[in-house]
Structure 1
Amino acid sequence: MANPNISKAVFAFGSIETDVKGTISGHYLDLTSYSTSSTSISFNVLGGYDFSFRHNDSLTGARIISITLRYPLDPSPLRYSETIIIDRIDLRPYEFDTSTSSRIAVTQMSDSVYRYDLKDYKFSGKAKHTNDTRELTCNGFFVVQELTWPF
């Protein structure tokens, strides 16, 4: 019988360097590259986790690289979004439909610890509402540990 005083918990950390290029209003630009270790993880309602690397979070230049980990040994491809301003106080995600032929190397370090390595992971995206594009290359890693936690 399951212990009713135990709850699922998760711990995650990591760091990536991201090189960003793309088009804005038809002009090709070498956009600002960045490094970040600012991470966020949450439980996905369909099972597994939603993990993201965040840069300039809650600012007008915010960028988010995210991944769904429904099956820890088979992660989804990376997704990308930026923050735009709709009016003076309304910040909204500027989302890109992404595609990739790269793979994330997964190592199961124990029954509940997974390491995800990104080595020259390349993916591209087209903005959902404009013709803007992004080409991203990521290098780094992140680790996810599943825990049980007492109430």
Structure 2
Amino acid sequence: MITPKASPAVFAVGSLTVDVKGTIGGTYLDLTSYTATASSVSFNPLGGYDFSFRENDGLSSKRTLSISLRNLLIPSPPDYSESVVTERGIFVYEYDMKSSSTIAVTQPNPNLYRYAFNDFKLSGKARHTDDTREITCNGFFLLQELTWPL
């Protein structure tokens, strides 16, 4: 029997509500929350996957919560970024984030993983200014590892 060639593949689905608060120029603001029902997933060159939950993708007000899954059972703390407009174009505005929560991971079967965010908290400061962000996430996403015929 001939074994067909196969390539690794991944299927991801979920919904994540991201509540954003913080300071802009020293003023504390309750920034607009968003729900991301679509995620971007890519293979990490060092192994595992990289996920992004985005709002306003491609626009000047894009906000992104990203997670690296090098070990599928131990997700890294998420990163948060926003887009800013400069005279040279749109650039990523990054924050140094710290988490005070954990992502609950379950494995319903050998190739399926569920990542739950229950009042998941992040906080951080912008890398180039004194602006801050306080993030609270609720929701989940599923990841299924597959093989895809070539």
Q: TM class by shorter-chain length?
A: over 0.9
How far does residue 70 in structure 1 lie from its aligned partner after superposition?
0.3
Aligned-residue RMSD, C-alpha: 1.1
The one-letter amino acid of 1:108's match is: Q
Partners of 2:92 and 2:38 lie apart in 1 by: 18
Partners of 1:47 and 1:137 lie apart in 2 by: 28
Q: Within 5 A, what are the aligned runs for 1:29-108?
A: 29-87=29-87, 90-108=89-107
TM-score (norm 2): 0.95
Partners of 2:128 and 2:58 lie apart in 1 by: 21
Say if 2:19 is the partner of 1:19.
yes
Partners of 1:14 and 1:72 lie apart in 2 by: 16
1:51/1:67 contact within 8 Å kept: yes
1:66/1:80 contact within 8 Å kept: yes
46-55 vs 31-40, which moves further: 31-40
1:38/1:55 contact within 8 Å kept: no
1:41-64 superposed Cα distances (whole Å, 9 cap, x missing partner): 000011000011111101011100
The one-letter amino acid of 1:145's match is: Q
Stretches (4+) displaced over 2 A? none
How far does residue 91 in structure 1 lie from its aligned partner after superposition?
1.1
Partners of 2:30 and 2:57 lie apart in 1 by: 21
Match of 2:140 in 1: 141
How far does residue 5 in structure 1 lie from its aligned partner after superposition?
1.4
Count of equivalent residues: 148
